[in-house]
Amino acid sequence: MNSIARRIALGLTLSAASIGPGLAQVLPPATPADTTHKFENPAGVPAVVKQPWYKGKLVKATIVPALLIGYGAYTSNGGGFYTNQEANRDIHKLFPTFRTSLDDILIFVPYAELGLVALSGVESKNDQLNVGLVVLKSELIMLTTVFAVKNLSRKTRPDGSDQLSFPSGHTAQAFLAASIVHNEFRDKSQWYGIGAYTIATSVAALRMINTKHWQSDVVAGAGFGILSAHLGYLTHRNRWGRKPRLPEGMGFSPTWLPSYGLGAGGGLSGTPGFSFTWRPK
């Protein structure tokens, strides 16, 4: 009987010895939680990596206009591999007698496209009120810079009419409007911007054909127009904290009021403007 009891006691001792280490692995001693940094990033949002300066919005917005303005300034005084005089000579070999006032009309066509596309139901990037504010600000920037440079440079026009040739104000106006169209509808289709820039390029070509500007003038004018539009967007903020829209039934659209007869250059004459419509519900 005593030998049986000793065997039972020995078995229990061996079982306890074999179970003990297993329990030690399953239930490790508790460690206190680290509360030192718990308020540094409670949402777990990854830290924002600062981009280098050359990838910033300002650089992206100014690189192309800066190249255009720089090229125009460089070629303005006879520089470049294709000078102003050579370009003027070749243009008038192709169009020796052609003159038109169509360039005075085409500068407003991109804005007409902006209004017509919006009225057709295509949603622009920004609402009507904020687009109008961007246009107003961009126009002020363009007019101020272009006429300041004109009066500082005092470049004589190809036809000798005055000394306000550099840069081309018509071209700046057309490319400003085209840039607005491109920015507002590029998410819908690139063709809206392509059409607007094609019209703006036509304005630049007609200014040279009409002997009103040199090649350098229209290249720099395109740069000033694009730059003004980009600066208008970069400096714009929606102060209302929402997207304000005109009341339902109200709208603005560009208009062209033709006058009877032909203009001095043989083209159609008329008056551009805007119309206001209101359909009360």
Helix (H, G, I), strand (E, B) or coil at 33: coil
Q: Is 95 exposed, middle or buried (0-12, 13-18, 19+ CB in 10 A)?
A: middle
In this prediction the pTM is 0.69
pLDDT at 28: 57
Instruction: Report the pLDDT value the prediction gives residue 51, as an integer from 0 to 100.
Output: 73
Of 152, 132, 150, nearest in space to 140 by CA: 132
Residues 6+ apart with CB under 8 A from 1: none
**Mean pLDDT in consecutive groups of 10 residues from the start of the chain, 281 residues:** 57 49 50 56 64 76 94 90 93 92 94 93 91 95 97 95 96 98 95 97 97 97 97 78 50 55 51 55 56
What's the confidence (pLDDT) of residue 32?
60
Structure tokens belonging to residue 112: 């007409």
Among 213, 204, 94, residue whose Cα is nearest residue 158: 213
| 189, 123 contact by CB (below 8 A) | no
* Spatial CA neighbour of 69 closest among 230, 219, 175, 225: 219
- The predicted pLDDT at position 195 comes to 96
pLDDT at 272: 55
DSSP run (H or E) holding 219:
helix 215-234
What distance in Å separates the CA atoms of residue 135 and residue 57, rounded to the nearest whole number?
19
pLDDT at position 20 is 47
> Residue 260: which H helix or E strand, with range?
strand 250-262
Residue 63 is encoded by which pair of tokens?
A: 């690189």
- Mutual angle of helices 169-185 and 190-209, in 10-degree steps: 170
- Cα distance between residue 134 and residue 237, in whole Å: 9
